[in-house]
Amino acid sequence: EVQLVESGGGLIQPGGSLRLSCAASGFSVDDYAMHWVRQAPGKGLEWVSGISWNSGSIDYADSVKGRFTISRDNAKNSLYLQMNSLRAGDTALYYCAREDHFDAALDIWGHGTMVTVSS
Amino acid sequence: EIVMTQTPLSSPVTLGQPASISCRSSQSLLHSDGNTYLSWLQQRPGQPPRLLIYKMSNRFSGVPDRFSGSGAGTDFTLKISRVEAEDVGVYYCMQATQYPYTFGQGTKLEIK
């Protein structure tokens, strides 16, 4: 079965760091572009970051640029999001999603991992 | 950054009746490769988003044919021909023509 499972969320104080993981099964992450999308409580979807299949193209939302780093480990078939200098506004459910190469659509989503930034 | 604007933000619909959601982009979504990378996603309560439509008008695998997408350039529409109870949720348009990818604000579909 093709699926994505996120982990690593939790309660963290402002200014702290967290590393989110996304484990893929049923497909190889190195064949696909992968993304992180977040959703603040009661709010809409916000694209956070994406990485191309060969890691040659990486981009970030302005709101996280310079603080978050996306990476992948093809051997572990996993995607990561290193989050530093966390702020209250980063509180959200973080989803990872797979992008279909030809259609540029996010076709597979995980169930998300919750990050709460609070003192 | 391309801004995506959806209307309406809330849509009460009677079961069995049609529904329509509009999405407008701040610039053309026509990519240099000739494709328009506009997709529609559904998020049921308590669930992750689910892909419905990709490249403006193509239904994703397993999506009922009562869902259809259309549009061109900067104006796009998602239509549900006959709303069913399982269609309740929030619908988002998303552009992937250029980074950063962006979503519309979401349209909440509810049953009258």
Work out the average pLDDT over A20-26: 97
Work out the average pLDDT over B8-12: 95
Work out the average pLDDT over A57-61: 95
What is chain B's mean pLDDT, rounded?
Answer: 97
Q: Provide the pLDDT for residue A102.
A: 84
Specify whether the CB–CB gap between B68 and B57 falls below 8 A.
yes
Report yes or no: B104 at the A interface, CB cutoff 8 Å: yes
Q: How far apart are CA B72 and CA B38, in angstroms?
A: 10
Over residues B32-70, the pLDDT tens digits come to: 999 999 999 999 999 999 999 999 999 999 999 999 999
What is chain A's mean pLDDT, rounded?
Answer: 96
Q: For the CA atoms of chain B, what is the radius of gyration?
A: 13
Q: Provide the pLDDT for residue B33.
A: 94
Work out the average pLDDT over A29-44: 96
Q: Residue B49 and residue A110: Cβ atoms within 8 Å?
A: no
Work out the average pLDDT over B72-96: 97
Look at residue A54 and tell me whether its pLDDT is greater than 90. no
Report yes or no: B59 at the A interface, CB cutoff 8 Å: no
Report yes or no: A33 at the B interface, CB cutoff 8 Å: no
Nearest CA in chain B to A112: B48
User: Which chain A residues are closer than 8 Å to B48 by Cβ?
Assistant: 95, 109-112
Q: How confident is the model at residue A1 (pLDDT cuts 50, 70, 90)?
A: very high
Q: Provide the pLDDT for residue A101.
A: 80
Q: Provide the pLDDT for residue B90.
A: 98
